[in-house]
Amino acid sequence: MVVAVVLLTESCESPLSPKPCVTLADRTCGGLQDLAFEIQLAAVEKIYDEAGRIYPTRPRTRGCPTPAELVLAGAIRPGQAKDVWGGDIRIRCYSGFVNEVRSAGPDGIMENVDDVVRRFVGMY
């Protein structure tokens, strides 16, 4: 089974296009790990969409919404506030946009190759 895992890159769309973008690379894993990546990718997409819907309506002094705030708003289920491996989900905002939603992946370490990431790529 081949599952799509999001990897970091800056070159998935034209730099002039303000559209959000996900860059995917094929990763072959075994059985339950494949399912975990598929579930987490869907959860990261949902969090990105819901944070992007809520963030523009918030006072700027409150900053980026957290996964816990998305749960309280009814935007995501309580089980989606953590990743499938029990780690935190990080949401970053910049200049009025949700810039990134990141799960640390199965190793629990942020900013490496097994992270599941949804990133906005474009101009702000």
Q: Is 0.75 surpassed by the pTM of this model?
A: no
> Mind listing the pLDDT tens digit for each residue in 27-52?
444 466 778 888 999 999 999 999 99
Spatial strand order of the sheet with 20-21 comes to 20-21, 116-120, 97-103, 89-94
> Mind listing the pLDDT tens digit for each residue in 71-111?
999 999 999 999 999 999 999 998 888 999 999 999 999 99
* Termini Cα distance of the chain: 37
Q: What is the pLDDT of residue 35?
A: 86
Measured distance CA(48)–CA(75) in Å, rounded: 11
Structure tokens that stand for 63 in this block: 């900053």
Closest CA to 56 of 21, 101, 100, 97: 97
Q: What structural domains does the chain harbor?
A: 2-120 (3.30.700)
Q: Are 89 and 81 in contact (CB under 8 A)?
A: yes
Measured distance CA(122)–CA(99) in Å, rounded: 10
Instruction: Tell me the three state secondary structure of residue 11.
Output: coil
